[in-house]
Amino acid sequence: MKTMTIAKAINEGLRAALAKHPKSFLMGEDIGSLGGVYRVTEGLKAEFGADRVMDTPLAESGIIGTAIGMALRGHQPICEIQFDGFVFPGFNQITTQLAKIRTRSNGMLSAPVVIRIPYGGGIGSIEHHSESPEALFAHTPGLRIITPSNAHDAYWMIQQAVECPDPVIVFEPKRRYWLKGEVDTESTELDPFKAQVVREGTDATVVAYGPLVPVALAAANAAAEDGHSVEVIDLRSISPIDFDTITASVEKTGRLVVAHEAPTFGGIGGEIAARISERSFYALEAPVIRVGGFHMPYPVARVEEHYLPDIDRILEALDRALGY
């Protein structure tokens, strides 16, 4: 076991992937000499060279388009989008080209491109630097979307994304980059597309992913002080979603709260609520309750704490669910 931050875990995971796969390479804005805005790629250019850790122009469409072409020639590109709100110039390339290549070619071609996107708020930044656009990509078939919430998962998930034959978007919770945790660098038993029960309980289930998993765990601990046993599930994968793990939990607890930073309207929580209502209608003792951001552009840093779902908002949702 090693103790490291999520940022360091991703760095070590990328180092392992580059060493294992000679045709893999990193590309993105300021990721080489600077080591990235968050220093996630620090030291990799010096170790692997400028032909495998490449600084690109500020052109997200060009980054993704180039990566697609390189992937079709047998390479394994790992792209970094500097901030979540900057991905949209490359959105067309991702959703209309990258996601459809395998189907369009009837399985003859694949484009194993990994796209790393730091996402979410809580860093006191300016416009376009605190977005949560995961639902926009999850709506597009052909993309796999994962998000780690701890250092161990981050270390292994980035490597597994590189080895996946499908395009994978890795949403990295930027406000958790400095969250420390234990990493077992020898264990490979992690399935990035399977949800994990991170806290067992019997009275209600809370599903969260990425930056909100620590908040959900804190809410569950607070609820325990009032005598309520809350199970917490780390979703890990946003597309595909591991509905079996959620269903098994809800069949036990009878209540479900889904929490994410992205706006509640049109969010991942709505899909989970609908699917679980279909699957577990007779097990539910209360409506599925969603907790998320408000349906508005992300606010200025001075008031972002009022926008972000916190412990109190999850506890309020649990109180409503338990009150039925």
d(CA 143, CA 136) in angstroms, rounded, equals 11
Domain that holds residue 178: 2-183
- Is there a single domain that holds both residue 211 and residue 141? no
188 in a structural domain: no
Is residue 260 among the annotated active site residues?
no
Amino acid letter, 191: D
86 in a structural domain: yes
Residue with tokens 């412990």: 311
Domain end, chosen from 149, 183, 217, is at 183
- Is there a single domain that holds both residue 91 and residue 178? yes
258 in a structural domain: yes
239 in a structural domain: yes
- Is there a single domain that holds both residue 41 and residue 174? yes
Task: Say if residue 47 is exposed, middle or buried (CB neighbours under 10 Å; 0-12, 13-18, 19+).
Answer: exposed
- Is there a single domain that holds both residue 151 and residue 215? no
191 in a structural domain: no
14 in a structural domain: yes
- Is there a single domain that holds both residue 132 and residue 267? no
From the candidates 128, 129, 260, 295, give the one annotated as an active-site residue. Answer: 129
- Is there a single domain that holds both residue 169 and residue 230? no
Q: What is the CATH number of the domain that holds 111?
A: 3.40.50.970
Tens of pLDDT, residue by residue, the chain (324 residues): 899 999 999 999 999 999 999 999 999 999 999 999 999 999 999 999 999 999 999 999 999 999 999 999 999 999 999 999 999 999 999 999 999 999 999 999 999 999 999 999 999 999 999 999 999 999 999 999 999 999 999 999 999 999 999 999 999 999 999 999 999 999 778 899 999 999 999 999 999 999 999 999 999 999 999 999 999 999 999 999 999 999 999 999 999 999 999 999 999 999 999 999 999 999 999 999 999 999 999 999 999 999 999 999 999 999 999 998
Query: Which residues have a Cβ under 8 Å from the Cβ of 297 and sit 6 or more positions away?
Result: 127
**Alpha-carbon separation of residue 129 from 56, 59, 94 (angstroms):** 19, 16, 20
- Is there a single domain that holds both residue 52 and residue 167? yes
Pairing of strands 256-263, 53-55: unpaired
- Is there a single domain that holds both residue 125 and residue 267? no
∠ CA 108-80-73, rounded to 5°: 25
Domain end, chosen from 183, 217, 239, is at 183
- Is there a single domain that holds both residue 260 and residue 299? yes
189 in a structural domain: no
- Is there a single domain that holds both residue 60 and residue 157? yes
Strand partners, 2: 183
pTM: 0.96
Number of domains in the chain: 2
